Structure 1
Amino acid sequence: MPAAFSAVFAAVEAFLEHERAQVPPWFTAAFGAGIAAWLWIPDRSGWSAAILLGLGLAAVGAAIGTRRIGGALQFGGLAFAAGCTLIWWRSEHVAAPRLDRPRVAAFEARVDRYEMRAAKGDVRLTLVTATQGLPRLVRISVPDEDVAIGLGIGARIRVRARLQPPPPMALPGSHDFARDLWFQGIGAVGRAIGPVEVIEPSPGGGLDALRERLGRHIRGQLRDRAGGIATALATGDQSAVGDEDAEAMRRSGLAHLLSVSGLHIAAVISAAMLLTLKLLALSERLALRFNLVLVAAGAGALAGLGYTLLTGMQVPTVRACIAALLVLGGIALGRDAISLRLVAVGALAVLLIRPEALAGASFQMSFAAVTSIIALHHWEPVRKMFGPRDESRFSRILRGAVGLLLTGLVVELALIPFALHHFHRAGLYGVAANLIAIPLTTFVVMPLEALALILDPLGLSAPIWTATGWSIDAMLVLAHRVGEAEGAVAMLPTMPSWAFALMIGGGLWLTLWSGPVRRWGLLPFAMGALGAAMAPVPDILITGDGRHLALIRDDGVPVLLRSRTGDFVRDLMSEASAYDGDPLSLEEQGFARCSRDACVADIVRHGTVWRLLATRGRDRIDWAELTKACADADIVVADRRLPRGCSPRWLKLDRQSLEKNGGVVVFLDGSPRVSTVAERVARHPWRS
């Protein structure tokens, strides 16, 4: 046994020595794993155990000594413990009072953030209040018609608003808005009632004001749909993009074009470098006396920083900017800086500042895309296939097109698990769409828009704006055609956390190692993909307030208890049930009997009939009638408090129960069970 152990130890040591250049990115992965562990583990005792586990691994590594295994365990354990500790500390550091119940309040406040949402016809304000009984930070929406002159960042206002606590996760596995607002320090959200009174107007100025003015100017030049897309490309503000266009971009796999990230940063920096280099090279004296490539790199760095600040420093933008600055640093030093270490440094920089970003789709998808691209082009067969060589122009163009198609395919495959996990859907035709849309955006739309903005002061921009609008319209036509094609979208219900973790781990193993051992990453990835594919479709979905319920038919179509529901709830129910379409109404189904007060439905699953009783009216129901109906039902759901005499055969979900458990998902398979939001959120500080 000792001999076998020594052989394994020596083999691992030799492997780490051979892969020593690939080891550093794993420390960033370990740091992120510590953050993920804190988000997944339910309570303080578990968080403490995770930190102690990391420190224990580090102690084992220190005991082993200076060998590769010892160093990997030591630094990996410390990174894991540091990640878990950092996110725990930050969750406590940003803790702020939250509203405990809905209320209508009139108060004075200072505008901290001003976001125009042109597509929704309102403005979203983040306010700093000083009113007793209200949280310090409040976010409200104000209809456009109630926006007063002088309203902006820094303005002091008086407003009356309907406020409520931060909305919790609506269903198990859906997006956790309460977590987002917790880390932003926002303690209440709501909507203004009536006009906003400006006590002291906004002083103006600042990047937010510049971003807002630029967005207004662009939408003034390009009206309707094109203006929203152009605003998103220039300022990163997607609020002016219409719902239909945004949905088409998501379904076609082009939504990443609206989020300012690597593609946009690269385009801006490349354009700045090219212009600087060409203009300075016109002077023979400058060309002979200075390193113009270095000067152009500096100009590109300034352009990238300015664009990042202008677009609001979102996670993918910051990541792309950091990566670009490292690349430019490599150019200045005469080295190739494009590597997985570059990605790891960028990810670590973001996580050190905002560790909670790890849970967001933006962080995960942007880094997954870049990592997959770099890993692909560092793979030896690909390097040989697309490396520089003497050939005809046609062959070079053909190889470039093949390389672009292959890169797009790899990126789409890398993003599918994240899209299915966060949005329950993934575009299947994104490779073909991106093959057209990426060059169109990079080489046509963005240069035309930049040129139009430059020519605006001279009054010569009208034809350029027209051409910009045409090119954006072409991109939208592509998005809608692809998104509406049959089979364009794959849908999946909420996948198990372990399946998603296995796919992430397998993907990291595939991309971060360089030798044949990387193939072993296919095994956990395949296991995770199988687990995700086998995720069961729920039978009943209930929101935490008990007002909205969806029953999933045998053919997968969700039917709603209340036919008059907003788009958010309808989309929520469709996504959670893995249905690509609009839900139907329960009262129209043959297996249901509905009145103004309630619906009774008989659900047949695996030869068993389950009777569901769900209330939907506001009027008082006769006690005797209600208790009799409860006794005849297996499941009772109500948005009111039900009497003790209401005793269904299996499950009772009334206001009291739902306030404790939050949204509920019911499975009526061989072993009936429920999953709740309370189980998901556990003891994390943003729980309701």
Structure 2
Amino acid sequence: MASSAASARSTGFRLLQIAGGWRPGEALERWLEAERGQLVLWIPVLIGAGIAAWFALPDANRWAAVMLGGLAVAAAGLAVGGSGRAARCVTVAAALVAIGCALVWWRAERVAAPVLARPAIVAFQGKVERIEAMPARELVRVRIAPEAGSGLPGRVRVNLDAADVPAGLTRGAVVKLRARLMPPAPPAVPGAYDFERVAWFDRLGATGRGFAPVEIVTPGEAKSGLRERLTVHVQSQVEGSAGGIAAALATGDRGAISEADSEALRRSGLAHLLSVSGLHVTAVVGATMLLVLRLLALSPALALRWPLPVVAAGAAGMAAVGYTLLTGAEVPTVRSCIAALMVLAAMMLGREAITLRLVAFGALVVLLLWPEALMGPSFQMSFAAVTAIVALYESKRVRGWFERREEGWAPRLGRGVASLLLTGLLVEIALTPIALFHFHKSGLYGALANIVAIPLTTFIVMPLEAAALFFDLIGLGAPFWWATEQALRLLLWIAHAAASAPGALAMLPAMPGGAYALMVAGGLWIALWRTPVRVAGVVPAVAGAIWALATPMPDLLVTGDGRHLALRMPGGEMALLRDRAGDYVRDMMAENGGVDAELPALDGQDGARCSPDLCLIDVERDGRRWRIAAARSGYLVPWREMIAVCRSVDIVVAERRLPPGCTPKWLKLDRTMLVKTGGVAITFGTRPEVRTVRRAGARHPWIGAETVMPARD
């Protein structure tokens, strides 16, 4: 009996040992062994985590803590790890996080350059570095390096009216002009576009508006660059926004697309077609390979003696590099070019071409060269879409659904449509959190619109445009340009139809960074692992989504200069303090307020009492009444009256400094306070919350950067 019991215990012991349920370390080792082919995919993710930590944390002490902590964990892993894979993974992961944080810190210090101290109207002379025509806005954007001794930053960017641009203005010219310049602007309100950060990494110290006359002191290059000439040629053949899209596909220049059409493309989920990325590079590579292969195969001698697929792949690689340079070498294009070259190299070597390792390598190259790109929507959306597609089609089950088989044309067509629909749906799921975080809105019909728009662009528009450019060499491109224009107008019609459909847009004004990080982490966990443990990624993804949806919308938005205020009314709409606010302010306030409508004026709302200089309004939230006072003009209100108003309200907002005796019951937002906080978003309720653009203790290089100011004339 005893031996029988012992035997049973021994059998159970062995079963537990085999199952690994009683020794977590062994179970972890077996799991990592099963996933060993996927571990390399986490290299760019961990470097990106270090980069994100640098942007998220406020000062050098915390950045140093991340790096030293990572190195300490790596050292501990080396000391106690032995031969286990888990310890090695921890060591490498911690070191990569530290490397990512150090990399972006080094990059931020390396690009350091002075910025303009305050707005000023200046006359200066400088060398033109870049010219960007924007026909849809009747502007030309010029980047200029002012001459030494001007007292200006090293690079400034000015917008000129198209009519004021002198003939013969080309890159390399030295020009003399007057302009109203201002420092790069921080986000106007929490969650808005951070141009100040982008300008820092672009070494741009001031932006503004130039005035006529613009004098060319020294001529520049005899001709504009190939990109500029090609853009002008394309836009001369196809008018309007259709020509702008054609130019965007050929050279990456989107300046001729009207704002209405750009907004329709964004709302319909088709804006990715304007950013030269994987879709466009793939079309160029595929077309080049097909053309070169067919032409070389016409010669029996070459077909018998040369490896034509290898030659065609080499030609396609050169075409991909040339197309990337022609279109401005933006992050999505560079990533797509790297990926294309990797695919072509794999084809030459007889290896599987399109894999997640290829995507990871492309991301790693971009992060090593431009670590700040991680924070931009272009990088995030580009890699999210490609990762989702490749991960989907690496699944054996999905490939089994859609692989080629002997069947009639109807099932084959249905299978192809289903494949496109599934791909489009997955891409929309992957991109929606990114779009909501950065732009506060996302199109809901993108999957359906892309089913038509992607094949239309890839197999009709781009081949027609390429044929038109080719036949222009002998003066016979007109029929192809006409066909290209009709196809592009169809694309715009699809965009407007999808954008204007009921419920076409999802709005989410305030997404906490933590909620976004959870969704990204969950998505990566699902995409990059292969064993059933990947399902665990659903937990953080869903938790992040619930957190984001549960976050209340802001009730009050105040811009960093104190001039503009948007208040949520009882019906949910936002009303603007100044009815003469510009289009940019209106759009920005609407997006960050979660409103897809024109914002009405505050003085026309119930409960608002407004004079030309001051507005008083009462709002009620969760049983509490809030009274807000806001200055509407630059004229001074009599001192005693202002003191009395301040004491009777909960919040006072003004673009100028208010007297010390102005003491509202809850919050005073005048120039003195807003200089410290930047723009402000306030949520009323039982537990009021205030979010600011400037976080206490933030010390990123672009905050409090070295400033310069030209001498007063």
Conserved 8 A contact 1:19-1:513: yes
Spell out, residue by residue over 1:158-210, the C-alpha distance to the aligned partner (whole angstroms, 9 max, x if none). 111111111111111111100000001111111112221111112145xx721
Counterpart for residue 169 of structure 1: 187
SS state of the match for residue 125, structure 2? strand
SS state of the match for residue 682, structure 2? strand
48-57 vs 242-251, greater mean Cα deviation: 48-57
Structure with higher Rg: it is 2
1:124 equivalent among 136, 141, 159: 141
Residues 228/99 of structure 1: CA separation in 2 closer, same or farther (3 Å cut): same
SS state of the match for residue 200, structure 2? helix
Spell out, residue by residue over 1:605-655, the C-alpha distance to the aligned partner (whole angstroms, 9 max, x if none). 111111110001122211111111111111100011111111111111011
**1:313-462 equivalent positions in 2, closer than 5 A:** 313-462=329-478
Counterpart for residue 184 of structure 1: 202
1:11 equivalent among 20, 27, 33: 27
Spell out, residue by residue over 1:424-462, the C-alpha distance to the aligned partner (whole angstroms, 9 max, x if none). 001100011000000100111111111111111211111
Whole-Å separation in 2 of the counterparts to 1:227 and 1:402: 32
Spell out, residue by residue over 1:387-444, the C-alpha distance to the aligned partner (whole angstroms, 9 max, x if none). 2333333322321221111111100110000000000001100011000000100111
Residues 344/204 of structure 1: CA separation in 2 closer, same or farther (3 Å cut): farther
Spell out, residue by residue over 1:654-685, the C-alpha distance to the aligned partner (whole angstroms, 9 max, x if none). 11111111101111111123111111892211
Letter in 1 for 2:255: S
Counterpart for residue 110 of structure 1: 127
Matched, 1:675 2:688: no
2:482 equivalent among 466, 479, 486: 466
Whole-Å separation in 1 of the counterparts to 2:69 and 2:178: 50
Query: Given the two structures, how large is their TM-score scaled by the length of structure 1?
Result: 0.98
**1:14-163 equivalent positions in 2, closer than 5 A:** 14-63=30-79, 64-129=81-146, 130-163=148-181
Whole-Å separation in 2 of the counterparts to 1:69 and 1:348: 23
Conserved 8 A contact 2:50-2:96: yes
Matched residue count:
684
1:598 equivalent among 580, 597, 614: 614
- For structure 2, list consecutive stretches of 5 or more residues without a partner in the other structure: 1-16, 705-713
Conserved 8 A contact 1:137-1:185: yes
Counterpart for residue 199 of structure 1: 217
Whole-Å separation in 2 of the counterparts to 1:415 and 1:550: 28
SS state of the match for residue 679, structure 1? coil
Residues 680/410 of structure 1: CA separation in 2 closer, same or farther (3 Å cut): farther
Spell out, residue by residue over 1:64-107, the C-alpha distance to the aligned partner (whole angstroms, 9 max, x if none). 03321122112211111110000001111111011111111111
2:323 equivalent among 298, 304, 307: 307
Conserved 8 A contact 2:515-2:547: yes
Matched, 1:540 2:579: no
Whole-Å separation in 2 of the counterparts to 1:680 and 1:520: 36
Counterpart for residue 8 of structure 2: none
Percent identical: 52
- For structure 1, list consecutive stretches of 5 or more residues without a partner in the other structure: none
2:525 equivalent among 486, 506, 509: 509
SS state of the match for residue 582, structure 1? coil
**1:619-638 equivalent positions in 2, closer than 5 A:** 619-638=635-654
Whole-Å separation in 1 of the counterparts to 2:300 and 2:269: 47
**1:288-299 equivalent positions in 2, closer than 5 A:** 288-299=304-315
Deviation at 1:58, TM superposition (A): 1.4
More relative contact order, 1 or 2 (CA 8 Å, 6+ apart): 2
Query: Given the two structures, how large is their TM-score scaled by the length of structure 2?
Result: 0.94
Whole-Å separation in 1 of the counterparts to 2:49 and 2:628: 42
Whole-Å separation in 1 of the counterparts to 2:149 and 2:483: 51
Conserved 8 A contact 1:107-1:131: no
RMSD: 1.4
Whole-Å separation in 2 of the counterparts to 1:474 and 1:382: 32
Whole-Å separation in 1 of the counterparts to 2:298 and 2:391: 39
Deviation at 1:5, TM superposition (A): 11
Conserved 8 A contact 1:681-1:687: no
SS state of the match for residue 563, structure 1? coil
Deviation at 1:555, TM superposition (A): 2.4
Counterpart for residue 589 of structure 2: 573
Whole-Å separation in 2 of the counterparts to 1:554 and 1:369: 39
Deviation at 1:151, TM superposition (A): 1.3
Spell out, residue by residue over 1:555-608, the C-alpha distance to the aligned partner (whole angstroms, 9 max, x if none). 221100001111111111111111111111101101101110011110111111
Whole-Å separation in 1 of the counterparts to 2:196 and 2:304: 59
SS state of the match for residue 343, structure 2? helix
Whole-Å separation in 1 of the counterparts to 2:573 and 2:463: 45
